[in-house]
Structure 1
Amino acid sequence: MTKRLKLVDILALGFMTFAFFLGAGNIIFPPQAGMLAGEHFTSAMTGFLITAVGLPLVGIIAVAIAGGGWKGLTRDLPSGLATLMAVLIFIIIGPAFAAPRAGLVAYEIGFKPFLLEPGQVELTAFSIVFFAVAMFFSLSQGKLIDSIGKLLTPLLFAALAILAIAVIVNPQGDVAAAQGAYVNNALTTGFLEGYNTMDTFAALMFGMLIVDVIRKKGIEDNKTTCMYLIYAGVIAAAGLAFVYISLFYLGSTASEVAAGTQNGGEIMAAYVNALFGPVGQMILAAIIGLACLTTVIGLVSACADYFSTLTRWTYRRWVVVVSLVCAIVANVGLKQLIAISVPVLFALYPVAITLIGLTFIRRWLPNPALGYRVVLGVALLFSLLDAVKVMGVDMSAFNFLPLFDVGMAWLLPTVAAMIVAKWLGTSSDKFAQA
């Protein structure tokens, strides 16, 4: 008889997945996008929801369809290339960018406002403590549902719900006029802003971690495991959508109380202070601290879990190493870290999106091995053009490319490559009809 999870465990699994996704970028980017989008915040929010909610959910489903792991997703690629892709993504969402960024946001918004004269010493001390706590929770790999899904996430969601209700009931201003790229390209600008959450990368990697968590609950059947994986993705997507909609609305009505702010964190701080007064900073610190901590726990656990399969080092040793590197990188500074990460995201995010798309059309490809190579190669080639442009290099010679002006030159060529792949030869691959 196939073992089943109780309803409370399914909800806890979904909450854990939600908490893994809801981190620094998910908190600081929507308010800023909402403020800039102003009267066009609905269109901008729609674009953002596609990349920050829709794609991660589809990514989780793709992992389930592929058998619950990276090997299933990349079975038609050379093993060395598949491993290289995985390592690069894990480095991006782990010690290089996403995890240290989460720690920095927790410091900048949740801790720094309480300091009289914050400096490098305070940042270093905070980084050590923050990543030590994340390491402590990550070491108990088999208890992630209990520690994250049943303990930390309900507290986080309660704090976010209080903020969301307050924003809707008592908005702190009128919706302002749109600014910058949001005036004429609100939808595509919101879509690209969703890259910053890095959640499509995370979905591909968290899927493997969530499968391991499900298996540690005694679920061995693949079909049942995939079903629970999809349940977790749907619950997480619903929670993320709730948070993003409220934060976009917060930003769109923040022009009066947050004038002169430089980023989404400052917008939230000003807005929460206007709503709740001095106690507002405490509420904001709780939201930011818990959101960033739960995400770092997920990132560290996912990285350690994968790297332990490539080396002789154990999971627990990798947890310590990844946590230590995150603490060191976090001392670079938030502004510098974001500036470095943006070109990388523009280069690799389309590749991740394309890989997800290929998972759903694979059964119709006569030669999946050839099709994957061609389509992913096209996606990478054109996404590199977008990445170089973001770095400030003059790329005006490529302005003739469709959507190049909005940073999505990769999209139409990749779709065309997918269509062409339908006729790229025949295959004796034993998976071709899978």
Structure 2
Amino acid sequence: MFTFFSMFFGAGNLIFPPFVGAQAGASTPLATVGFIVSAVGLPILGVIAVSMAGGFEQLAKRVSKRFSIVLGTIIILTIGPFFAIPRTATTSFETAIIPFAGDTPRWVLQLAYSLVFFTFSFLVAQHPEGLSKTIGRFMGPILIVLIAVLFVSAVVMKHPALPAPSGNYAHGLISRGFLDGYQTMDLLAALYFGIVISANLRIMGVTDESRNRQETAKAGLGAGILLVVIYASLAFVGAVSSSLAPIDAGRDTGAAVLTNLTTSAFGPLGTLFLGLIFVIACFNVCTGLISTCGSYFQNQFPVVAGHRITYRAWSIIFTVFSFVVSNAGLAVIIKVSIPVLSALYPISIVLVALSLLHRVFSSKFPRMYFWTVLCVGVVSICECVNSLVMTFGGMLPWLNAALKTLPFASAQLSWLLPAALGLIIGIADSLIRRQSHTDTVAEV
């Protein structure tokens, strides 16, 4: 359970809940409910769905074998060396090192820090089956203790009345919290972290595949309960922080919210305390991601251009690539990652939903997987292209106008109608194919 929690809980998981609380203020409980549903509920459902299907590959193959390979590779690269792994080093650097940088050139410090950070992460990731010993038994509990100190400080310290909801949380608290829960992107990670957890369970003697899947699902549920408690605590911390020092929702981040509270609670030591939390959280996730990416590519692409590529070789490639990308800076990484991650999330959601209903519904109409993913994928990819073009200062007026005509576009849920359309087409296609097969058998 602690291993699962530590692999999920990174910098984003520390930043977003307090930012929700800071904006929701006195209405933090309502906003937190929405956030927890998407930030905890969806990832845990993802773990359960993958366990029930016998692995992500088996789940995605219900669409097609080629789709399984393509989507799996894209997700792994996205939550790995392209965005998430570099972000762990950059975020922890800006929180823990920059405040104490002095006159030293920023690029020199960042280069040195990321080199040390990735070296240690790589070394720990070389033994993925032992992550429960290094992360679950040691780093995870330390992180929980540090967060508990933050929460207790917020409870006991004197502060003004919590402010009224502001910014994006002035209206629609639950729905806004639900949408902001997407930003953790843990559903994508949930689809693959089971690989590492399964390896740990086998080392512990759980070799039976059926029982292994059950224990993996239980670990996910345990981690989910822990995440709910942590997120609720951090949201409360954010609400208290905003009463002490109001924030600008358009400029500040969750890091600023936490800094305000730790400074008020601990004085000069507050920044050092916050930096320690970020370093531990980011190191945990970085190590887990390197291990997950290396395991996936070793299994999926053991031979490339006639040469056998081992787990160690793949993890070296991902670590070095992430080291280079991390030195581009946090702003650039986040700027490019948001549209890509937002395109992958709806596809993952419909896959998980169909898998959870597989025995009672989806298995009776197997073509639903293909058509639902196709319809949702077309809209998601178009939105990704449109967002990336605007991110870099361009504009596609015709595409932007077309996407705005979709229902729920203003709520960033424009994929719901295509999903419903895919379900209908999938059911019809399944029935037609079934009838055609029945007629063929009858003729024979």
1:147 corresponds in structure 2 to 134
Residue number among 313, 316, 341 corresponding to 1:345 in the alignment: 341
Please give the alpha-carbon distance, in whole angstroms, between the structure 2 residues aligned to 1:44 and 1:374.
34
1:17 corresponds in structure 2 to 4
1:282 corresponds in structure 2 to 272
The one-letter code of the counterpart of 2:415 is: W
1:374 corresponds in structure 2 to 371
1:204 corresponds in structure 2 to 191
Q: Trace 1:24-423 onto structure 2 (pairs within 5 A).
A: 24-67=11-54, 69-117=55-103, 119-170=106-157, 172-259=159-246, 262-309=252-299, 310-311=301-302, 312-363=308-359, 364-365=361-362, 369-387=366-384, 390-391=387-388, 392=390, 393=395, 395-418=400-423, 421-423=426-428
Instruction: Tell me if the contact between 1:63 and 1:73 (Cα under 8 Å) persists in the aligned partners.
Output: yes
Please give the alpha-carbon distance, in whole angstroms, between the structure 2 residues aligned to 1:366 and 1:194.
30
Q: CA deviation at 1:295?
A: 0.6
The one-letter code of the counterpart of 1:381 is: V
2:441 corresponds in structure 1 to none
Instruction: Tell me if the contact between 2:374 and 2:422 (Cα under 8 Å) persists in the aligned partners.
Output: no
* Alignment deviations for residues 116-163 of structure 1 (CA, whole Å, 9 cap, x no partner): 135111011111100111111101122111111111111111111111
Q: CA deviation at 1:282?
A: 2.7
Please give the alpha-carbon distance, in whole angstroms, between the structure 1 residues aligned to 2:401 and 2:169.
21
The one-letter code of the counterpart of 1:374 is: W
Q: Which segment drifts farther, 360-369 or 146-155?
A: 360-369
Q: CA deviation at 1:369?
A: 4.6
Structure 1 residues 366 and 147: CA distance shift in structure 2, 3 A: closer
2:442 corresponds in structure 1 to none
Q: CA deviation at 1:175?
A: 2.0
Structure 1 residues 242 and 148: CA distance shift in structure 2, 3 A: same
* Alignment deviations for residues 94-129 of structure 1 (CA, whole Å, 9 cap, x no partner): 001111111111111122222213511101111110
Please give the alpha-carbon distance, in whole angstroms, between the structure 2 residues aligned to 1:417 and 1:172.
51
Please give the alpha-carbon distance, in whole angstroms, between the structure 1 residues aligned to 2:45 and 2:402.
35
Please give the alpha-carbon distance, in whole angstroms, between the structure 1 residues aligned to 2:214 and 2:403.
44
Instruction: Tell me if the contact between 1:21 and 1:199 (Cα under 8 Å) persists in the aligned partners.
Output: yes
- CA-based RMSD: 2.1
Compare CA radii of gyration and give the structure with the larger one. Answer: 2
1:7 corresponds in structure 2 to none
Instruction: Tell me if the contact between 2:372 and 2:422 (Cα under 8 Å) persists in the aligned partners.
Output: yes
Secondary structure at the residue paired with 1:254? helix
Aligned residues: 414
Please give the alpha-carbon distance, in whole angstroms, between the structure 2 residues aligned to 1:57 and 1:366.
22
Instruction: Tell me if the contact between 2:24 and 2:170 (Cα under 8 Å) persists in the aligned partners.
Output: yes
Gaps of 5+ in 1: 1-13, 429-434
Normalised by the length of structure 1, the TM-score is 0.90
Gaps of 5+ in 2: 303-307, 435-444
Q: CA deviation at 1:403?
A: 1.1
Please give the alpha-carbon distance, in whole angstroms, between the structure 2 residues aligned to 1:255 and 1:62.
38
Q: Which segment drifts farther, 336-345 or 163-172?
A: 163-172
Secondary structure at the residue paired with 1:424? helix
Secondary structure at the residue paired with 2:163? coil
Q: CA deviation at 1:386?
A: 4.3
Please give the alpha-carbon distance, in whole angstroms, between the structure 1 residues aligned to 2:23 and 2:41.
22
Please give the alpha-carbon distance, in whole angstroms, between the structure 2 residues aligned to 1:40 and 1:397.
36
Secondary structure at the residue paired with 1:132? helix
Q: CA deviation at 1:335?
A: 1.5
Please give the alpha-carbon distance, in whole angstroms, between the structure 2 residues aligned to 1:275 and 1:168.
11
1:432 corresponds in structure 2 to none
% identity of equivalent residues: 32
Please give the alpha-carbon distance, in whole angstroms, between the structure 1 residues aligned to 2:232 and 2:123.
33
Secondary structure at the residue paired with 1:134? helix
